[in-house]
Chain A
């Protein structure tokens, strides 16, 4: 059990390539933090710096009250689950679980209890004498988690642990990781590029882009008030629609069409307007609306995604599966569900954070 403090941490590789810059992050004891971002955003590098597998070029990492910058990985009181599981192929499952404990000179009886406990928790008891080669992907994943659990570390680090599993198994293992973490109450940092995994697992999300933090916040906070166009397009599926628009007083012009904002305009001039697919609906005849030229639809069963153009810009809307479609449609949106971003920097324009309480907790569509 420990808190983690990441103080202005940066990473520059030899040769001057900068992977991570100036990351500040305070993680409370027992918190589940997910680092999410596209590949190459520095999330794994950050995790590996916390683990001690990469040197920290700038700043300071503290686990508990100890600064760990110059500490060996073994002394940091962490356990890590790797993407490829990194099970020792020449050892049986039991030997894999015992390895870390033996290296720490844990008494034999204690090792046996802990292995038995982990095996029971993860339901791998019947495979203890097998080699990893004889296990399926999901079972290997469990062993990898078992190896982390038996050590009873202060921190769990997960480096994309589910990305080698098939989609169905991924969903169930995701639930299991969450359940285990809740039960053990161990501070965890989890790296993924999958926004859905990030949303479902995290107590708090850290969205990274280009080695910098874009936003830190609870999943719904990030979902409902993305700090930038990058976060808006990365979190949520389908991605938030981002279109160029222009504010004229209390009116928003998107292409040739214009809608009233009921006093929700944060500024004036050119902006990037964001809106979620599920916040759009087919307009009544007497309503102010955006013209939408339908191109194709995707059926998800519970809803229907319609893709098309607003003016000359691409947009996607989610409508009821039985909604009536026509090549030329009109879509309406509640002005308070619009997100405004600065046209040049992509940063969120303040003032119009939708009050979360009033919104139905819109779950992201799978």
Chain B
């Protein structure tokens, strides 16, 4: 694509215009990131009076730490769970709304609302609904003979944060899927109908393959979201428990660093997280943008 080039008279002006964005990035991203990298090579004494340079000791220790490996596993389960759940539900909603002609906008508005809810508020909402003592859902589950208690059962806790995190992400996915579906020409489904494919087959052999760019984009976005943007939800519902079962990486960084005040290893963890983000971003821009086309 050709973009229009603007020629500035002064050499300073363009930098001046870029400055607000650059300053924000430097102060709130580059500087803390640099701090984290520096910190990850240091070890503090318990009182924060002395720091020693320990090379990669923080990292090697992490990889031997069963708690950290457990957090890695939990993060994996969690992010896959959130991605699959939120994407499949939002795809289903999008397909339904796409079929409705008149009230489509109304449903769209309703479905987009959860996105405007702050993560902590969303977490609290689910905390109430799933509360083992006063929540409506555990109460209903007793009728089918299931005793819900995410404070005791590790599985329940994981399900709870997956549902809570997926719920918030459905709105976002939904918008993209609706846009994607609307860009699939109607004549294609009509041609497939004439070609003898039933509604189900039409969707999976014609519509869904054409959505693949949207689907892959959302998969990356959702994994990124689940791994890095779910601190609020975890903090408001399970706080990483019971017995570390929902202690996902991003929560562990916080718990170790700010509650445990173990700054070195916590910094090392954030550096690893940062690397994962970098990899995901590269995957998204390099591989997916090019590969998933038809």
Contacts and interface: CB of A to CB of B under 8 A. Distances in A.
Interface of A: 51-53, 72-74, 78-80, 82-84, 86, 88-90, 99-100, 103-104, 131, 133, 147, 151
A104 B196 contact: yes
Contact of B190 (A79, A82, A90): A82
Contacts of A78: 194
A73 B194 contact: yes
Q: Which of B196, B201, B294 has the most CB of A within 10 A?
A: B196
Nearest to A72: B193
Contact of A80 (B191, B206, B209): B191
A90 B187 contact: no
Contact of A74 (B196, B205, B209): B196
B210 interface: yes
B202 to A, nearest CB: 10
B190 A100 contact: no
A52 B194 CA distance: 8
B192 interface: yes
A99 B210 contact: no
Contacts of B197: 74, 99, 103
Interface residues of B, number: 19
B209 A90 contact: yes
B195 A82 contact: no
Contacts of A88: 188, 191-192, 206
A346 to B, nearest CB: 35
Contacts of A90: 209-210, 212, 294
Contact of B187 (A72, A73, A86, A103): A86
B209 A51 contact: no
A332 to B, nearest CB: 51
Given A51-B190, A52-B194, 20 more contacts: A52-B193, A53-B193, A72-B193, A73-B190, A74-B194, A74-B195, A74-B196, A74-B198, A79-B194, A80-B190, A80-B194, A82-B190, A83-B187, A86-B188, A86-B191, A99-B192, A100-B195, A100-B196, A103-B196, A151-B195
Which of A53, A86, A151 has its CB near the most chain B CB atoms (within 10 A)? A86
Contacts of B205: 99
A316 to B, nearest CB: 38
B185 interface: yes
Contacts of A72: 193
A86 B185 CA distance: 8
- Interface of B: prevailing SS: helix
Given A103-B201, A133-B294, A86 B193 contact: no
A163 to B, nearest CB: 13
Contacts of B188: 86, 88
A73 B197 CA distance: 10
Contacts of B212: 90
Nearest to A88: B206
A36 B237 CA distance: 66
Contacts of B185: 84, 86
B44 to A, nearest CB: 56
Nearest to A81: B191
A47 B23 CA distance: 62
A300 B205 CA distance: 51
Contacts of B209: 90
Contact of A103 (B190, B195, B210): B195
Nearest to B201: A103
Nearest to A157: B194
6 contacts: A74-B193, A74-B195, A79-B194, A82-B187, A86-B190, A100-B196
Contacts of B196: 74, 100, 103-104
Contacts of B191: 80, 82, 86, 88, 147
A90 B212 CA distance: 10
Nearest to A98: B195
A53 B190 contact: yes
A51 B194 contact: yes
A151 to B, nearest CB: 8
Interface string B208-227: 01101000000000000000
Chain A CB count within 10 A is highest, among B197, B210, B212, for B197
B294 A131 contact: yes
Contacts of B210: 89-90
A353 B139 CA distance: 86
A99 B189 CA distance: 13
Given A88-B188, A89-B210, A90-B209, A73 B294 contact: no
Contacts of A79: 194
